[in-house]
Amino acid sequence: MSISDVKILAFGDPNRNDNAFKVFSYCKSIGAQTKYVTCEENESFATFNHGNIDWRESTNGIHWLVNSAETILLGKSPKSAVGAGMTFGELEGAKMVMVVDVPDNPDDISIIWGFVISRIRQIHVLFITSRALEAISNLEEIPISSVLETIRNRGLVPHVCSYSTEEKKALVEYSTGSLSVSTEEIIQPLEWLARYICKLPFSGTGEIGIKDACLA
């Protein structure tokens, strides 16, 4: 198996400027099979008929469904679509990737984090940006150095991770341990995530496999 065999579906804003689309774009650029789902051109994203998305067909046979937590702030329809995609995708055997960043209005972090927590058992890879780590640290009243480990232990998420461009370092908490892996070059955080999920399906689940995926 290689990256060209990895199938990724992302859902997000039709303006294609959100984090889900960025991950999708990076995955596409390195050779994964990708598809982006959003509303029709003549629909408002906030109110579009999300029932028209055939999630079972869209998620059948894919490895990952990528969502950005901030999408839920864009209207009832996007929020419902994110939930429906995760539910039906899980039934089809897809694994969920959730990106958490600080919204345009930082006060809304509590809203998106509440949504993430409500869906935590459905998430396979939870990626938290450096900015969001600090915000969640304040929200949860836990040290920033403990956020990833605490969230993984509380939610039993298989992979909770982040990437620091300043330190050129990936941090991953997984079911049997922790990894801190330095990369040779500075990578954009969402590009690192794209590389990680594109390599993970065939790198293995143990420490060696996860480290290999971190350096993809």
Measured at the alpha carbon of residue 78, what is the angle toward residues 73 and 114, in degrees to the nearest 5?
Answer: 45
Give the per-residue pLDDT at 164. Answer: 95
Q: What share of the chain is helix, strand, coil (3-state, %, to 5)?
A: 50, 20, 30
pLDDT at res. 173: 95
Phi, psi (degrees; rounded to nearest 5) at 92: -90, 0
CATH number at residue 75: 3.40.1190.20
Distance between CA 104 and CA 11 in Å, rounded?
19
pLDDT, position 175: 87
Q: How far apart are CA 100 and CA 132, in angstroms?
A: 7
Q: How far does CA 85 lie from the centroid of its chain?
A: 13
Instruction: Specify the pLDDT at position 199.
Output: 95
pLDDT recorded at residue 163: 97
Question: What is the pLDDT at residue 216?
Answer: 72
- Check residue 98 and give its pLDDT: 98
Q: Which pLDDT score is estimated for 176?
A: 85
- What's the pLDDT at 204? 77
pLDDT at 207: 85
Q: Nearest-CA neighbor of 6 among 199, 215, 212, 213?
A: 199
Q: What is the pLDDT of residues 99-132, one digit of tens each?
A: 999 999 999 999 999 999 999 999 999 999 999 9
User: Strand 95-100 and strand 123-128: pairing?
Assistant: parallel
> Domain of 69?
3-214
**Other CB atoms within 10 A of residue 198 CB:** 28
**10-residue stretch averages of pLDDT, the chain, 216 residues long:** 93 95 97 96 94 94 97 97 96 96 96 97 97 95 94 93 95 92 93 96 85 86
Looking at the DSSP bridge assignments, the partners of residue 8 are: 34, 64
Q: Could you tell me if 59 and 81 are in contact, meaning their C-beta atoms sit under 8 angstroms apart?
A: no
Instruction: Count how many domains the chain has.
Output: 1
